Amino acid sequence: MQKSILIIGACGQIGTELTLALRDKHGKENVIASDIREGSENLMDSGPFEVLDATDYDALEEIVAYYEISEVYLMAAMLSATAEKFPMRAWNLNMNSLFNVLNLGKEKKVDKIFWPSSIAVFGPNTPKEHTLQSTIMEPSTVYGISKQSGERWCEYYHHKFGVDVRSIRYPGLISWKTMPGGGTTDYAVEIYHKALSEGTYTCFLKEDTELPMMFMDDAIRATLQLMEVDKENVKVRASYNLAAMSFTPAQIAEQIKKHIKDFKISYKPDFRQAIADSWPSSIDDSKARTDWGWQARFDLENTTKEMLENLAP
């Protein structure tokens, strides 16, 4: 039977590409994009779209019933930098939207749920190198606290009510189709845009701040892979560590210089430095590799090539 899929937060950085990938795979009529606002033509014209506030359970339930949705991807969230400015708004959006979707699962109104977690679940006391799936967490940011709580609730709903919820702890994501917004890792996208348009970039993190990152194609492939694997292979119901590459602003600048010789970077760290300092510099994703065969394809070199080629005027 053809499944019907709902993406919440479809206009965001991950949501846009996920919607396009799912429409390619399952047919455009079967993938309903939704967001609090209308999005790019690319997204709106490629299949059904609904304006939806993810914190409104009744509105969500109505859309799920109308389209006979079986699978939900909840991509709406307030990210780390914005969440520090609006803690209560971030908590309300990030948690209430998750409860709404988990409760749809509990009521057996949907069969399967994807919810993104983040490397932000880790904190300053977490070992920084090759951070393990299970280790000290203690997140120190509003966003990280909401993601860690979310993970606990996912696991709880799975064990207590049998909800088939699956999740990935995304690292910073690098993409050219849609800009990120409100994150700490956003510099790794902005830098390519500025390199091409101005030949210079002022980075809001210090030159030696190493963070885990991933090219969007890998992130989308991982998401589809996790959602397709047999239930029995999904052994982690909180969220899976996932890794591809780690680099510093100085290292990404070096890669860009291989293509744009005169490119210049300067550094002006702001409040986002403290957020980045609380996160791991590299991630151990052996659990995802063992349980569902995860393997990244993009490193910094081919990511840089893809970004510059696709963003070039």
Question: Could you list the active site residues?
Answer: 143
Number of other CB atoms surrounding residue 262 within 10 Å:
8
Closer to ligand AKB by Cβ: residue 184 or 304: 184
Q: Are 235 and 202 in contact (CB under 8 A)?
A: no
Distance CA 242, CA 213 (A): 10
CB of 95 to ligand AKB, least distance (A): 16
Distance CA 192, CA 187 (A): 9
Closer to ligand AKB by Cβ: residue 69 or 90: 90
In sequence order, what DSSP letters do the residues of 243-309 get, joined into one string? -SEEE-HHHHHHHHHTTSTT-EEEE---THHHHHHTS-SSB--HHHHHHH-------HHHHHHHHHH
Considering only CA atoms, which of 265, 138, 143 is closest in space to residue 204?
265
Distance CA 242, CA 307 (A): 21
Distance CA 230, CA 287 (A): 15
Tokens at residue 122, please?
Answer: 């880790």
CB contact burial 39-54 (16+ within 10 A = b; e otherwise): beeebeebbbbbebbb
Binding positions for ligand AKB, rule: CB under 6 A: 79-80, 118-120, 143, 170, 172, 183-185
Q: Which helix (H) or strand (E) segment is 125 a member of?
A: none
Distance CA 4, CA 31 (A): 6
Q: Are 256 and 174 in contact (CB under 8 A)?
A: no
